[in-house]
Structure formats: structure tokens, C-alpha cells
């Protein structure tokens, strides 16, 4: 017996993004908590972030980003047969976000599930999408990273409220003869699960910032390199490097240690803050829209965060 499979490869057709309208500057935060613009810019690299009001939830942000990606892809809602939402900040445990968003986008009866790998979630979900297409389980997949982190962060906790923000990014993935989404290199360190935590539904996010910083700047560049090796791309051949936007110092540390010498380095954190699972597709969507990265060239993405979890893969820029 020989069963049928799907496409030889998968590729991203288009990205989409959405951010709430409200911009919160460092100076605005400094009016209510003991912080200042200079500290935030030099330690984290953030100048401003977007924060959603009570009228917008994780599904709303996802709906807008997903709709934009779908419009840019040239496909219609009827073409999508799987929707995956990466999120760790949803208001509800059930129902999931993906089925609701699919319904609002007019996508009829797709497979629909959420992925929680925190800030690594988009890279995990993208890998799931690629594998589903190659196995024949799906033809076209809408992958969304969406977060309303502000509702899980104590807005008087200066260690965290200056960092985390709200937003969504999305990608439409389809089949291709030539693979354009490389093998994922993923993993986790559950022994460090207490380093970033929302302990229960009544608690706010807590993190061991220094501990996570040390881990991110020492353990992740070999993962990034391994993703390049498995894709058959040298770091110096990367046209773009788009790590999770956790801290600008982490972004440049990984880029330097990896040797991504010719890549455009994502600095979306400056104006978007840390949007967890949304940060990678949000950054890529912005970079493509601004014409900063060349279509058809390789980009490396790497997500990392609570769990601790991480995932990296090379993709072809649509």
C-alpha cells in the first residue's frame, strides 16, 4: 500500500499585521511609574508600544491581521482549510481563538487549533502549517500570532509593563514544488519553567529578566545556526534576520554571534514593544511593506520565551 501525500514543499504567500490604534510612549509610562525614556531605550530598545482597549481582544487583533494576510495572498477564504493561532494571552481557555477567527473571516469549517509556545508560538505554528501541507492534510493554511499581553501584565510593575504590548501578525502558507520553509529546529527547557510565568488566571506575568536574558544571549545562536545548516543556507547568505522582539540587545547579540553579516536585522521592537507570538510576523509584515527585504531571498526567524521554548527556521521572503 502507498498512501498519497501533499506538496513537495511549502511557501509563504503573504504576511499581514494589525496593531491597536493607541500608542503608549515611554514618557507616558514615566508619568505613572518610576521609569524614564533613557532607561527603557538603552536597556530594552523600546520607544513606544501599542496597547489595546477593552473593546479589542486577542481574536479581534487576529481577525484583522489574518484578513490582511489573506487579502495579500490572492487566495480567498474558501481556499483556506486550516487556521492555526499562536497565542499565550487569550481571554478564554475555551473556545479557542482560531475557530472564532476563521468564522469571522468567512472560512468555512477549517481545521482550527491554537498553539501555546509563548513567544516561540509563531515559529511552531508555521512548522505545523508546512508539515500539514507537505503531508497532504491541508492545502492552504492561515497562521496567526496574536497577543493582548497588556491584560496579563500589572501596569504598575515597571519591570514588565514597559516591555509587553499588544498586536497580531499573520501568514498565508501554501504548497510549492520547491521547499521555501526550512526544517524547524525546536526545543524546550522545562527545568526553567519558572523563569517566565503567569501562575493562574488571577495572576500577572512574572519573569526572571536577567536569567532569561543570559539564556537568550548564550543558548540561542547555536539553534539559529543549526536552522541555517538544516536549510542549507549560510548565515552570511541571509537577507533578513527576524528574531522574537524581546529586547534589542538580545536581537543584536544573536545576530552578531550567528554571523548574519549581510542580513537586515528586525528592529520592530522599537515601535511595537514585545508582542510575544505576534512579534515575528508583525516585524516581517512591516519590513516587507516598507520594502526593506528582498522578495525570494532567505530570512531566518527564531522565537523564544516561556516554557522555556524556542524554535527557528529559514523561510523564503514572499
> Contact residues for ligand UT7 (CB under 6 A)?
35, 39, 43-44, 119, 158-159, 162-163, 196, 209-210, 212-213, 216, 246-247, 250, 274, 305
Contact 174, 46 (CB under 8 A): no
* In the complex, least distance from residue 168 CB atom to ligand UT7, rounded to whole angstroms: 16
Among candidate residues 206, 204, 288, the one with its CA nearest the CA of residue 242: 288
Residue with cell 542549507: 232
Residue with cell 498553539: 115
- Quick one: 125 or 138, whose CB is closer to ligand UT7? 125
- Quick one: 139 or 249, whose CB is closer to ligand UT7? 249
* In the complex, least distance from residue 194 CB atom to ligand UT7, rounded to whole angstroms: 14
Report the C-alpha gap between 7 and 162 in whole angstroms.
44
274 is catalytic: yes
Residue with cell 554571534: 257
Report the C-alpha gap between 201 and 51 in whole angstroms.
20
* In the complex, least distance from residue 218 CB atom to ligand UT7, rounded to whole angstroms: 12
Contact 114, 92 (CB under 8 A): no
- Quick one: 153 or 181, whose CB is closer to ligand UT7? 153
* In the complex, least distance from residue 303 CB atom to ligand UT7, rounded to whole angstroms: 9
State the angle between helix axes of 248-258 and 221-231 in degrees (0 to 180), rounded to the nearest 10.
50
- Quick one: 118 or 299, whose CB is closer to ligand UT7? 118
Report the C-alpha gap between 205 and 161 in whole angstroms.
10
- Quick one: 117 or 250, whose CB is closer to ligand UT7? 250
Catalytic residue among 119, 128, 140, 247: 119
Contact 279, 302 (CB under 8 A): no
Report the C-alpha gap between 135 and 30 in whole angstroms.
51
* In the complex, least distance from residue 47 CB atom to ligand UT7, rounded to whole angstroms: 14
Catalytic residue among 88, 244, 247, 286: 244
The length of the chain, given as a count of residues: 318
Catalytic residue among 26, 128, 247, 274: 274
228 is catalytic: no
140 is catalytic: no
* Active site residues per annotation: 119, 244, 274
Amino acid at each position: 500500500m502507498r498512501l498519497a501525500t501533499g506538496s513537495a514543499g511549502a511557501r509563504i504567500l503573504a504576511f499581514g499585521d494589525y496593531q491597536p490604534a493607541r500608542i503608549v510612549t515611554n514618557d507616558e509610562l514615566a508619568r505613572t511609574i518610576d521609569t524614564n525614556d533613557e532607561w527603557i531605550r538603552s536597556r530594552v530598545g523600546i520607544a513606544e508600544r501599542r496597547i489595546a482597549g477593552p473593546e479589542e481582544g486577542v481574536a479581534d487583533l487576529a481577525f484583522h491581521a489574518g484578513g490582511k494576510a489573506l487579502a495579500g495572498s490572492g487566495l480567498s477564504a474558501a481556499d483556506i482549510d486550516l487556521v492555526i493561532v499562536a497565542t499565550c494571552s487569550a481571554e478564554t481557555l475555551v473556545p479557542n481563538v482560531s475557530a472564532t477567527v476563521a468564522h469571522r473571516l468567512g472560512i468555512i469549517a477549517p481545521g482550527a487549533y491554537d498553539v501555546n509556545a509563548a513567544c516561540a508560538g509563531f515559529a511552531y505554528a508555521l512548522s505545523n502549517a508546512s508539515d500539514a501541507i507537505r503531508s497532504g492534510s491541508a492545502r492552504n493554511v492561515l497562521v496567526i500570532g496574536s497577543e493582548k499581553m497588556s491584560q496579563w501584565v500589572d501596569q504598575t510593575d515597571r519591570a514588565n509593563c514597559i516591555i509587553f504590548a499588544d498586536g497580531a501578525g499573520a501568514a498565508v502558507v501554501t504548497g510549492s514544488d520547491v521547499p521555501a520553509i526550512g526544517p524547524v529546529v525546536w526545543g524546550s527547557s522545562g527545568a526553567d519553567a519558572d523563569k517566565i510565568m503567569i501562575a493562574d488566571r488571577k495572576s500577572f506575568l512574572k519573569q526572571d529578566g536577567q536569567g532569561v536574558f543570559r539564556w537568550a544571549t548564550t543558548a540561542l545562536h547555536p539553534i539559529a545556526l543549526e536552522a541555517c545548516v538544516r536549510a542549507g543556507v549560510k548565515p552570511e547568505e541571509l537577507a533578513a534576520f527576524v528574531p522574537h522582539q524581546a529586547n534589542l540587545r538580545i536581537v543584536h547579540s544573536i545576530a552578531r554571534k550567528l554571523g548574519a553579516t549581510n542580513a537586515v536585522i528586525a528592529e520592530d521592537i522599537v515601535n511595537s514593544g514585545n508582542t510575544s507570538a505576534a512579534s515575528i510576523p508583525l516585524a516581517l509584515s512591516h519590513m516587507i511593506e516598507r520594502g526593506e527585504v528582498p522578495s525570494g531571498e532567505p530570512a531566518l526567524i527564531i522565537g523564544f520565551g516561556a516554557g522555556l521554548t524556542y524554535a527557528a527556521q529559514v523561510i523564503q521572503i514572499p
